[in-house]
Chain A
Amino acid sequence: MAKNCNFLVIFQCKHQSIVLQLAQYTLRKSPVPDCNRCSCFVRNAALESSGMALPKAVKTGTTICGIVFKDGVILGADTRATDGSTVASLNCQKIHYLAPNMYCCGAGTAADTEQTTKLISSNLELHSLNTGRQAPLSTALKMLAQMLFKYQGHISAALVLGGVDRLGPHIYSVHPHGSVDRLPYVTMGSGSLAAMAVFESRYRPNMELEEGKKLVRDAIAAGIFNDLGSGTNVDLCVITKDGAQMLRPYDVANVKGARQERYRFKRGTTAVLKTRLRKFDVQEEEVVSMDTSEASGSA
């Protein structure tokens, strides 16, 4: 006997606030729901119907981007992690290692991007050991996209995958629902529009290394200075057929100001009203250890 359950399925689009949809979900015959999320949605639906307002989804902070240049790819990211309107981390790492020839920038929920890339990195290493060869980027892409699709967008990870394999340099973008795009330059995150504006006006195919690094740096900087969800430093990762080079930080765009004065309270700020001296009789105790290891008496 199948159990019918109404769920509140929350879809989060990249540039809009929450779009709510009610979906009919059929559970298999079992006393315990199939997935943990099912019970959460039941609870959410119950709370909402009792009059409690659903919390607004937090917009994904971050500006990440990637370009293909003459000798390979360059990935860039800012380093601010936000928790609502608080900066949770000034210098977090958003460019994640996948394989010696592939790195992946992640925007969205920090835990989701971190765990997803770690899992796929581990599976890639296993794949590489078992096949005896370096995996191409399309393998990593498939693994990432299939995992995100499997979770129907509930894993909030928007990724920019970049690397060089035997087929050449590639840049891909992966959206939380599992769609992929292969392009010469991509941006993701809340600062993606600012970064894309820079790319659209200045990107050319087959750029030199220094020019490419400057372009990526400027794109991330546009995100850092114009988007509240992005900030602090610019991290870069340059990948060519000779290997990958992490430049962290590539550009310290925001230096925290130094304190101008000493802000300690002067002695005497708190008035001393009464002083009382008490004498304690301290008795010194000396502990002498006894050697009880030797057997006493006759053998």
Chain B
Amino acid sequence: MSSERYSFSLTTFSPSGKLVQIEYALAAVAAGAPSVGIKATNGVVIATENKFKSILADEHSIHKVEKVTNHIGMIYSGMGPDYRVLVKRARRAAQQYQLMYGTEIPTGQLVQRLAAVMQEYTQSGGVRPFGVSLLVCGWDHGRPRLFQCDPSGAYFAWKATAMGKNFINGRTFLEKRYGDTMELDDAVHTAVLTLKESFEGQMNENNIEIGIVNESGFRRLSPAEVKDYLANIV
């Protein structure tokens, strides 16, 4: 984890009391692809833009929406490779919890473990903070959950939120649109609309990814299902 040359942390305080590396990491997140998460009464939806720079790119072979356990999924805004590392850690943490306590990991516990990992990288030798903010959604025995993890290691529980490019506009949009009694279908619809706000170009089933979690567990929506939702707005 820590490089052999550096036994001191590269994330150090500035005179004003800020950890500049974390600020920069948050800037990397804010420059990343937009992502959205909305909690409904009967589930949670997470969605993100998955644009490719070239028409030659093989869509649907690399995914942003990843399943962590049967009842938890996550997405990100920021640096993809950093995200992969955290997905692996999350999956491992969930299995270890299952083996130790004989029950599936509550979403909050997983988020705490992930956040602890992210914090480690702000206070260890020779490493840099993760350049991602995560949105973790889960279904804990009948209760929907949505959490955000920041590069600093801070985590927040949300009813609805947006991250990445234009996240302020996204959050304002959600503040107006969100309702406590929203159901999952409406939530997916709203999530797609929120993404559309900051989308450049034509949105189709090949350049966005949606994941939902409800009582049947977490799953990524197939392109055909995404197409159905898109057809309802355009």
Q: Which residues of A does B touch, CB under 8 Å?
A: 118-119, 122-123, 125-126, 129-130, 132
A-B contact count (CB 8 A): 17
Distance of A155 Cα from B68 Cα, bound (Å):
31
Asked if residues B88 and A130 are in contact (CB atoms below 8 Å), the reply is yes
Distance of A122 Cα from B88 Cα, bound (Å):
14
Asked if residues B68 and A129 are in contact (CB atoms below 8 Å), the reply is yes
Interface of chain B residues 7 through 56 with chain A (CB within 8 A): none
Q: Take A129-B67, A129-B68 as given contacts and tell me if A119 and B92 are in contact as well, using a CB distance cutoff of 8 Å.
A: no
Please, which residues of chain B bring their CB within 8 A of the CB of A130? Answer: 88, 91
Residue of A nearest to B70 (CB): A125
B84-128 interface bits toward A, Cβ cutoff 8 Å, 1 = contact, 0 = none: 000010011001001100000000000000000000000000000
Please, which residues of chain A bring their CB within 8 A of the CB of B98? Answer: 122
Question: How far apart are B104's CB and chain A's nearest CB, in angstroms?
Answer: 11
Q: Which residues of B does A touch, CB under 8 Å?
A: 63, 67-69, 88, 91-92, 95, 98-99
Residue of B nearest to A122 (CB): B95
Question: How far apart are B73's CB and chain A's nearest CB, in angstroms?
Answer: 11
Q: Which 5 A-B pairs have the closest CB atoms?
A: A122-B95, A129-B91, A126-B95, A122-B99, A126-B91
Distance of A129 Cα from B94 Cα, bound (Å):
12
Distance of A129 Cα from B68 Cα, bound (Å):
7
Question: How far apart are A243's CB and chain B's nearest CB, in angstroms?
Answer: 15
Residue of B nearest to A115 (CB): B99
Asked if residues B91 and A119 are in contact (CB atoms below 8 Å), the reply is no
Say which residue of B63, B91, B92, B99 sits within 8 Å of A118 (CB atoms). B99
Please, which residues of chain B bring their CB within 8 A of the CB of A126? Answer: 91-92, 95
Residue of B nearest to A132 (CB): B63
Question: How far apart are B81's CB and chain A's nearest CB, in angstroms?
Answer: 15
Distance of A129 Cα from B69 Cα, bound (Å):
8
Question: How far apart are B43's CB and chain A's nearest CB, in angstroms?
Answer: 21
Distance of A143 Cα from B82 Cα, bound (Å):
29
Distance of A118 Cα from B69 Cα, bound (Å):
16
Quick one: which of A118, A122, A129, A130 has the most chain B CB within 10 A?
A129
Distance of A119 Cα from B92 Cα, bound (Å):
12
Please, which residues of chain B bring their CB within 8 A of the CB of A129? Answer: 67-68, 91
Distance of A156 Cα from B92 Cα, bound (Å):
27
Please, which residues of chain B bring their CB within 8 A of the CB of A132? Answer: 63
Question: How far apart are A265's CB and chain B's nearest CB, in angstroms?
Answer: 43
Known: A125-B95, A129-B91, A132-B63; 7 extra A-B contacts, CB below 8 A, are A122-B95, A122-B98, A123-B95, A126-B92, A129-B67, A130-B88, A130-B91
